[in-house]
Amino acid sequence: MLRVASFAMALTIALTGNVTGQQRADFSGDWVLVPDASTPANQPALGSRARILQRSDELALELTLWFSGDGSRAYEDTGEYDAPKRYRLDGAEHSMAGQGPRVVRNADGSRRGSLMPQWPTAGRYRATWTGDKLVILSADQLPLLTAGEFRFVGLTIRTAFSLTADGLLVVERIVIQEPVPSPRPQPAPTPLRSVYRKAG
């Protein structure tokens, strides 16, 4: 009986060691969107390019800023990276400061437009490993203009990072918006699956 118990304990320790000693995926690098492999191609989860620096306890994510000209709904990728968003990978709840737009002015001081962050990520988040995926569950606030007044609507965002066998980065994202009073039916959440390859 003692021999069986000892064997069971040794097996448990061996299995636990294999799980905890598992090699985690490393998402570090500069990444470029592969539109043909992404769904939908025109709504990339991290924009057209992203930069990631990963350590054992943290993931730092840099996304490109977009320029929105005043009086125009057109957006233009500036190629400039925003300040890194740092996620602690311990599964605990943490706060993430919001990143609002920055005003861009002409030489005469008049307003030319705004630099817009790709992903404000204000609010709280948890980041942890689930199998071979790194999952970030975050809460955000979306400003909506309703009847001439701004109101903030809560969002729950689930983002999962994984690597394919051939080294592509897959980012799966879904955003769930809290219901708001409206005569129109509100759209169902649309899952995003964006695929990126290493730049260069």
Q: Which of 34-38, 150-154, 173-177 has the lowest mean pLDDT?
A: 150-154
**Residue 162's beta-bridge partner residues?**
170
Structural domains of the chain, ranges and CATH numbers in brackets: 24-198 (2.40.128)
pLDDT of 109 above 90: no
Q: How far apart are the first and last CA of the chain?
A: 61
pLDDT of 169 above 80: yes
Q: Cβ(64)–Cβ(47) under 8 Å? A: yes
Kindly state the tokens that stand for 54.
């990963």
Q: Cβ(92)–Cβ(67) under 8 Å? A: no
Question: Per-residue confidence at 115, pLDDT binned at 50, 70, 90?
Answer: low
In this predicted model, what pLDDT tens digit does every residue of 71-99 receive, in sequence order? Answer: 655 555 667 778 788 999 999 999 887 66
Angular region, 91: left φ>0, alpha ψ -120 to 50, beta rest: left
